[in-house]
Copies of this chain bind each other. A is one copy, B any other.
């Protein structure tokens, strides 16, 4: 077995991961999983000691509020409670990727940020300086993209590191391709 390299020798691959929009419970989105699986199968392969995976989940504050339509915010305590819930959801999501990385034996780190995903991802790339950013993508056509927008297109243009976008496989696309 190879000796683990020091952190600076490793190829550091960052992922922007998000929750599925079609399941209630905080599951990883289809495209986040596709991006992760592609990296394991095609890039890391058997060389598990040569890489470190960095998982970033960006929570959109407004979107989270919409999820809580039944909640009534009557005191500062209620907001604290909502923040706690967001934190639990985000950590459940990251747990999936961290657990799988550990099972395979690849070093990893994971963290949560709040804000606009595309802006935050670029900001974190600048701060963390990964060797590669891997993003999932729903593979929408130009017409669908106008209404949905894609984080990956923005990051390919603006992030200060090489970026690769992985589309969902055709057999994993849900009935409405905007879902993920």
Contacts and interface: CB of A to CB of B under 8 A. Distances in A.
Secondary structure type dominating chain A contacts:
mixed
A131 interface: yes
Interface in A156-172: 156, 162-167
Q: What band does the interface of chain A fall in when counting residues whose beta carbon is under 8 Å from B?
A: 10 to 19
Given A43-B43, A45-B47, 18 more contacts: A2-B46, A11-B42, A38-B162, A42-B131, A42-B132, A43-B132, A45-B50, A46-B47, A46-B50, A47-B50, A132-B164, A156-B156, A162-B164, A162-B165, A162-B166, A162-B167, A163-B164, A163-B165
25 contacts: A2-B46, A11-B42, A11-B43, A11-B45, A38-B162, A42-B131, A42-B132, A43-B43, A43-B132, A45-B47, A45-B50, A46-B47, A46-B50, A47-B47, A47-B50, A132-B164, A156-B156, A156-B165, A162-B164, A162-B165, A162-B166, A162-B167, A163-B164, A163-B165, A164-B164
Contacts of A156: 156, 165
Of A11, A42, A131, A163, the most chain B CB neighbours within 10 A belong to: A42
Interface of A: 2, 11, 38, 42-43, 45-47, 50, 131-132, 156, 162-167
Contacts of A2: 46
Nearest to A152: B156
Nearest to A44: B47
A149 to B, nearest CB: 15
A42 B46 CA distance: 15
